Amino acid sequence: MCSITYKSPKTAFFPHIELFGRPARYITKYIPFLMLVLVVILTILSLHPYKTEKLFSEKKVYNIVVCLDVSNSMKEKNKLKIAKMALQEFILKRKPEDRIGILVFDNIPFRLVPLTTDRGKILRLIPKIHPAMVDIGGTSMYDALIDALDMFNPTLKNKIIILLSDGGDINSKNTIDDVILKNRVVKAKIYTIGISSGIHSFALERLSISSGGKPFFVTGDFKKAIKGIFEEINRLEPSYIQEYSYKIEIPVDFYIKISALLVGALIMLKTFYRKE
């Protein structure tokens, strides 16, 4: 510019050319570009800061005690035989994780099978149940329910009692109020099945409704009705592994932190080269 302005053929020399600044090194030429690229990356990541995952709940295990009336009246019209067949089908339809126990009662209650997952043991013992197998007959329904409630460990969940009887209580030391009061602590759901027209329906209704269960009554075709009742209980208390799938959002901040670290490193690098 000086040679053109002053029309001089000589070259102009500047002895203090370092005042114009040092020439930029190769890497520092691209720092602005890299900074721009990283800013774009961070912006894209910030638009999608979450990832989605699916979670599933654990298995739902039931604890079921079947209270079966074995008084002498249960041999009439093959009521006990029909009940045993329906009970076997009911057990076979439950999942292996369910714990099932059987308590039989006539004049007194008797724990035939404690809560167990051993299906083979239960199915082997059911055919051996017969009328008046515990004592001399009679019906101690409330004592049986108290004993059934005692079979549950306090830590267990999903507790169910299925009571099947063909008559009212005549031998129990406990009352229906004792059963209801005890169940407020145990919190078992009671399904009652009353067979024949002579059943005390009011007592069974009160037992079931107070526990959140449902009463059933059979007066006609015992075989078809009892089988249908056990199938309905299976539907009301489905025996399967409940998979509650739901989505959660987890922050994806790892990449943002790494990108921020790179940006900081480049800024320090740029500062270092400037000092040189």
List pLDDT tens digits, range 104-127.
Answer: 999 999 999 999 999 999 999 999
* Residue 30 binned pLDDT confidence (cut-offs 50, 70, 90): low
Asked if 239 contacts 62 with a C-beta cutoff of 8 angstroms, the reply is: yes
Residue 238 DSSP SS3:
coil
Beta bridge pairs of residue 110: 104
Residue bearing the bigger pLDDT, 67 or 260: 67
What backbone phi and psi angles, to 5 degrees, belong to 101?
A: -130, 155
Q: Please give the Cα distance from 196 to 75 (Å, whole number).
A: 12
Query: Which H or E element spans position 55?
Result: strand 50-55
Position 247 scores a pLDDT of 60
- Lowest-confidence segment of 29-43, 215-229, 248-262 by average pLDDT: 248-262
Mean of the per-residue pLDDT values of the chain: 81
List pLDDT tens digits, range 225-268.
Answer: 999 999 999 999 986 655 555 565 555 565 666 666 666 666 66
* Residue 219 binned pLDDT confidence (cut-offs 50, 70, 90): confident
User: In this structure, how many other beta carbons lie within 10 angstroms of the beta carbon of residue 143?
Assistant: 20
User: Residue 182 pLDDT more than 70?
Assistant: yes
C-alpha triplet 126, 127, 129: angle, nearest 5°: 70
Q: Give the dihedral sign, CA 107/108/112/113.
A: positive
User: Residue 65 pLDDT more than 60?
Assistant: yes
Beta strands 99-105; 109-116: pairing state: antiparallel
pTM value? 0.67
Residue 248 DSSP SS3:
strand
Alpha helices in 51-174 (DSSP H): 79-92, 119-125, 141-150
Position 47 scores a pLDDT of 56
Beta bridge pairs of residue 189: 160
User: Residue 10 pLDDT more than 90?
Assistant: no
Contacts 24+ apart (CB under 8 A), 250-255: 250/50, 250/51, 250/52, 250/53, 251/49, 251/50, 252/45, 252/48, 252/49, 252/50, 252/51, 253/49, 255/45
Asked if 41 contacts 260 with a C-beta cutoff of 8 angstroms, the reply is: no
Please state which of the four CATH numbers 3.40.50.410, 1.20.1250.20, 3.40.190.10, 3.40.630.30 is assigned to the domain occupying 63-236.
3.40.50.410
Position 154 scores a pLDDT of 87
